[in-house]
Copies of this chain bind each other. A is one copy, B any other.
Amino acid sequence: MKSVSPTIRDVAAMAGVSVATVSKYVNGTQRFTPAVEAKLKEAIERLGYRSNPLARSMITGRTRTIGVAVLDITNPHFTNVVKGANRVALQHDYTLLFVDTEENPARERSLIEALAPRVDGLLISSRISTEIGKWLLELGKPAVMLRRVPEVAIPSVGFDNRLATYMLVRHLLNLGHRRLAYLGFDAETINNERIEGARAALAEAGLALDVYDTHAPTAQGGEAACSRVMLGPKRPQAVICYNDLIALGFMKEAKTLGFSLPRDVSVAGIDNVPYGEYVEPRLTTIEGQSERMGEVAMQKLIDTLSGRTDIDNVMLEPRLVVRDSTAAASHG
């Protein structure tokens, strides 16, 4: 219960050796005579000495720690990314430190700035990836972006957003739907890719897409937007949501408004968060491979840290998961 921790010098004094010896012993850099080793062990034990990682890092320049910045720790997609990243990090004896930027670009930067010097490398998911990417570059700290940023020389792992919505539209088209809506999240750059993919598939069938927007990529966002979509002048037969959370909220509110799902409207999301399986109707979605994304990104980062330097942009492939929230269009 000492208020101030013992230092390497205290140990050295107590064991009657030099600080260098203690340092080497603590780091297992060398072998020692049994006598010295015993004294060292005893002194460390009695003093309750623990080496100060800050001081060590300052010299070695390494922390054996990796920083992960996520946009919203509440979103299962991100927690799964984290799980995947954690698994790989653990295998390589790295510790993960997380920071939640809370969808706030202003804080984002300062949080990453605070995190960066304390870690060996960074895994970053950001709304402003390109900007952050450039800034990271001049920071000179190894990083991997959790989103494709081909325009910056930083490795990244992303997801084929165009293909995801393209597939979703094709699926809905096959079910006989003609009036499709997209409920997006405008503040996000990949939102446009998702719209493009949907439009491309629709264009092939000579159809157009109605685009709506939510204020947040969350269930609350989906709830809030539902009545506008479903009770507006262009009620869709099917709606594709920016992500599963929005879809979950949308479905809940649609039911509250008296609609029967999927009879009155088909709904699909993207990410395949675990909870999509527990709602009714079970959510049709695109498997976003969140955990895999975390794994791949972490592996890339560790490779970079180990000297390998192949700056490429991995693209994870989407896979359609059909469940009960999408059904054949009713006649009329």
B-binding residues in A (CB < 8 A): 1-5, 48, 50, 52-55, 57-58, 65, 73-74, 76, 79-80, 82-83, 86, 90, 95-100, 102, 107, 111, 113-115, 117-118, 137-138, 140, 219, 248-249, 251-252, 274-275, 277-280
* Distance (whole angstroms) from the CB of A147 to the closest CB of chain B: 20
Q: Which of B52, B54, B58, B278 meets A275, CB within 8 Å?
A: B278
Q: Which of B50, B76, B140 meets A5, CB within 8 Å?
A: B140
The answer to whether B73 and A74 have CB atoms under 8 Å apart is no
**Given A86-B100, A118-B118, 18 more contacts at CB 8 Å?**
A5-B140, A50-B117, A52-B58, A54-B54, A54-B57, A73-B83, A74-B76, A74-B80, A82-B100, A86-B102, A95-B99, A95-B111, A97-B98, A219-B274, A248-B278, A275-B275, A278-B278, A280-B280
Residues of B contacting A4 in the complex (Cβ-Cβ under 8 angstroms):
140
Residues of B contacting A96 in the complex (Cβ-Cβ under 8 angstroms):
99-100
Chain B residue with the shortest CB-CB distance to A65 = B114
Most buried by B among A83, A100, A107: A100
What number of copies of this chain does the assembly contain? 2
The answer to whether B76 and A73 have CB atoms under 8 Å apart is no
Q: Which of B1, B54, B83, B140 meets A2, CB within 8 Å?
A: B140
A4 to B138: give the CA distance in the assembly, Å: 10
A278 to B247: give the CA distance in the assembly, Å: 11
* Distance (whole angstroms) from the CB of A63 to the closest CB of chain B: 8
Q: Which of B58, B115, B137 meets A58, CB within 8 Å?
A: B58
The answer to whether A54 and B117 have CB atoms under 8 Å apart is yes
A212 to B74: give the CA distance in the assembly, Å: 30
A1 to B280: give the CA distance in the assembly, Å: 52
A-B contact pairs, 22 of them (CB 8 A): A1-B137, A50-B113, A52-B117, A54-B54, A54-B58, A73-B73, A73-B82, A74-B76, A79-B79, A86-B100, A86-B102, A95-B99, A95-B111, A95-B114, A96-B100, A97-B115, A219-B278, A249-B278, A251-B278, A278-B278, A279-B279, A279-B280
